[in-house]
Amino acid sequence: MIVMKFGGTSVKDVEAVGRVVQVVGRERRPRLVVVSALSGVTDALLEAARLAEQGDGAAARQAVKALHRRHEEMTVLVRATERRASLLAAIDALFAELEGIVRALAVVEEVSPRSKDAIVAFGELASCRIVAAALEDAGLASRWLDARALLVTDAQHGAALPDRKATDERLRSLVRPLLADGLVPVVGGFVGATPARLTTTLGRGGSDFSAALFGAGLAADEIQIWTDVDGMLTADPRVVAAPRVVPQLSFDEASELAYFGAKVLHPATILPAVGLGIPVRILNSQRPEAPGTLITRTVEGGDGDGGPAAIACKRGLIRIDIASTRMLMAYGFLRRVFEVFERFRTSVDVVTTSEVSVSVTIDDRRSLEGIVAELRAFADVSHEDGMAIVCAVGERLRTDSRLATRVLSALEGLPLAMVSQGGSRKNITVVLRDADAPAAMERLHRRFFEDEGAPSERAALATA
Ligand code: ASP
Ligand code: MG
């Protein structure tokens, strides 16, 4: 069986859901469909929660009413009058319930994380009803499922952690029989519930995570993430003029890229699938014929002059140089340094060390002053704003010892502040001035993905 997950843009309106119906209809394998809220709905629900918290009950109810209307309009998808009426009734009931919640919270002017989850879950609770009804209407026997009955989590509202074992049991008892009967179950992503049945959510973008959890629990043959782009790109299109689709990535490569803001895929998504080696395929619901990007546990490095799988950058960073005030790096120095970052809950992106100093980059500048003050108790500290990370990612960096040199030589002439080859040796990272980042990215992209003479065969495949 496979899991087909459709993101918010893939279900954003009547036409989009029509495409989902076609894509799901063409598939022959048993399938579980996971859907996000219609695009923009989660934000709108959070806004309604904010208005309620401010005590502006009228505005909060107005926001709910607008959402209600938008979902009602989706029911034109369903032609059979009886089915459409029952979808409308389900949507009316959901939004009546939501309005009641929002009204009550506006009175007390308080929205706890628990209440916020109760509100924000409505996006997925409504979208799965719509998609299930549309599938039925197209002659595909389907069944909507309440995600709160399926995904068991702890009680960390807004960022709940799944209970994999309990969830797997629910999948076995609730989803497997439907699949065995040839039905297409449709469930909202992002949403779960505690064993005590309190509604929870997994965190923004959590539908991918739901899809991966369900895929893992059902031992799926493949997890498809249907979105509005052709797949993972060789570089960020805002930085590089002509990025290409990467046809295949390893899980590690995809995680690195996701970390660098390749928004197509949430890194945590990957984890439940990685363990079981389930391939994840990113596909474009607006161009279902495009091959997309396949993410697998491992990927062949290949021979020849291949380059990295993709390049990435992260901009607007601060570099902090920390030198031990003793002549040599004393025992325990690094521990003291990182304890400071830990105390200020500031994560560090790149770290390089020499015998007497350590440099790090951070992007969260909120605690910069406090961090520097504490470091100065035992080290000389200087910092520089306006830095960027540029990173080449590829399994091949591990197997081809010359590749790192080729990456660096493409950057010749640009002043590099830090150079690091990660522990996995699947990336090589440089830190340079933010102003130089676009030029660095363009050069790398031209060198490895556009040059006539030495195209990466994986990039070449992408354009074939
Ligand atoms: N609807 C949720 C969000 O916008 C979850 C998701 O779409 O993945 O964050
Ligand atoms: Mg998403």
Q: How far is the CA of 458 from the centre of ligand 2 (A)?
A: 26
Residues 6+ apart with CB under 8 A from 209: 162, 189, 190, 202, 203, 266, 268, 269, 272
Q: What is the pLDDT of residues 125-147, one digit of tens each?
A: 999 999 999 999 999 999 999 99
Does 422 have pLDDT greater than 80?
Answer: no
**What confidence score (pLDDT) does residue 313 get?**
94
Mean pLDDT of 308-313: 94
Phi, psi (5° rounding) for residue 455? -75, 145
What residue has token string 């209407």?
Answer: 137
Residues 6+ apart with CB under 8 A from 114: 155, 157, 198
Query: Which numbered atom of ligand 1 lies nearest the CA of 209?
Result: 8
Place 401 in a pLDDT band, splitting at 50, 70 and 90: confident
Q: How far is the CA of 194 from the centre of ligand 1 (A)?
A: 19
User: Does residue 230 contact residue 287 with C-beta atoms inside 8 Å?
Assistant: yes
pTM of the model: 0.84
| Mean pLDDT, the chain, whole residue set | 92
SS3 of the chain: helix, strand, coil, percent, to 5:
45, 20, 35
**What confidence score (pLDDT) does residue 456 get?**
46
| Residue 6 identity | F
Question: Could you tell me where the DSSP H helices lie in 157-206?
Answer: 164-170, 176-180
Q: Is the CB of residue 251 below 6 angstroms from any atom belonging to ligand 1?
A: no
User: Does residue 282 contact residue 361 with C-beta atoms inside 8 Å?
Assistant: no
Three-class secondary structure of residue 240 per DSSP: coil
101, two tokens: 């919640």
Three-class secondary structure of residue 294 per DSSP: strand
Residues 6+ apart with CB under 8 A from 303: none
Place 196 in a pLDDT band, splitting at 50, 70 and 90: very high
Question: What is d(CA 278, CA 251) in angstroms, rounded to the nearest whole number?
Answer: 10
Does 364 have pLDDT greater than 50?
Answer: yes
Question: What is d(CA 202, CA 268) in angstroms, rounded to the nearest whole number?
Answer: 11
Question: What is d(CA 64, CA 460) in angstroms, rounded to the nearest whole number?
Answer: 48
Mutate-to-test residue for ligand 1 from 204, 210, 213, 263, highest number of ligand atoms within 8 A of CB: 204
Place 306 in a pLDDT band, splitting at 50, 70 and 90: confident
Q: Is the CB of residue 188 below 6 angstroms from any atom belonging to ligand 1?
A: no
- Which ligand ends up closest to the CA of 229? 2
The separation between CA 237 and the C-alpha centre of its own chain, rounded to angstroms, equals 17
Three-class secondary structure of residue 160 per DSSP: coil
Angle between helices 57-73 and 41-53 (to 10 degrees): 160
Measuring from atom 8 of ligand 1, which residue has the nearest CA? Answer: 205
Q: What is the pLDDT of residues 80-118, one digit of tens each?
A: 899 999 999 999 999 999 999 999 999 999 999 999 999
The separation between CA 259 and the C-alpha centre of its own chain, rounded to angstroms, equals 9
Q: What is the pLDDT of residues 217-254, one digit of tens each?
A: 999 999 999 999 999 899 988 899 999 999 998 888 88
341, two tokens: 């970052």
Q: How far is the CA of 331 from the centre of ligand 1 (A)?
A: 46
Higher pLDDT, 400 or 201: 201
Question: What is d(CA 385, CA 404) in angstroms, rounded to the nearest whole number?
Answer: 26
User: Does residue 426 contact residue 252 with C-beta atoms inside 8 Å?
Assistant: yes
Question: What is d(CA 262, CA 232) in angstroms, rounded to the nearest whole number?
Answer: 7
- Torsion angle (degrees, nearest 10) of CA 247, 248, 253, 255: 80
User: Does residue 415 contact residue 386 with C-beta atoms inside 8 Å?
Assistant: no
161, two tokens: 């952690």
Measuring from atom 5 of ligand 1, which residue has the nearest CA? Answer: 205
| Residue 129 identity | R
Dihedral class, residue 444 (left if φ above 0, else alpha if ψ from -120 to 50, else beta): alpha
Mutate-to-test residue for ligand 1 from 9, 34, 35, 36, highest number of ligand atoms within 8 A of CB: 36
Residues 6+ apart with CB under 8 A from 193: 147, 148, 149, 151, 152, 153, 199, 200
**What confidence score (pLDDT) does residue 23 get?**
98
Ligand 2 is an ion; its neighbours by CB within 5 Å are: 7, 205
**What confidence score (pLDDT) does residue 460 get?**
41
What residue has token string 């399926």?
Answer: 150
281, two tokens: 């395929």
Question: What is d(CA 315, CA 318) in angstroms, rounded to the nearest whole number?
Answer: 9
Does 420 have pLDDT greater than 60?
Answer: yes
Q: How far is the CA of 5 from the centre of ligand 2 (A)?
A: 10
- The conformation of residue 378, written as its DSSP 8-state character, comes to T
* The 3-state secondary structure of 79-108, one letter per residue: CCHHHHHHHHHHHHHHHHHHHHHHHHHHHH
Q: Is the CB of residue 36 below 6 angstroms from any atom belonging to ligand 1?
A: yes
Does 298 have pLDDT greater than 90?
Answer: no
- Say if strands 199-201 and 310-324 run parallel, antiparallel, or are unpaired: unpaired
Residues 6+ apart with CB under 8 A from 259: 267
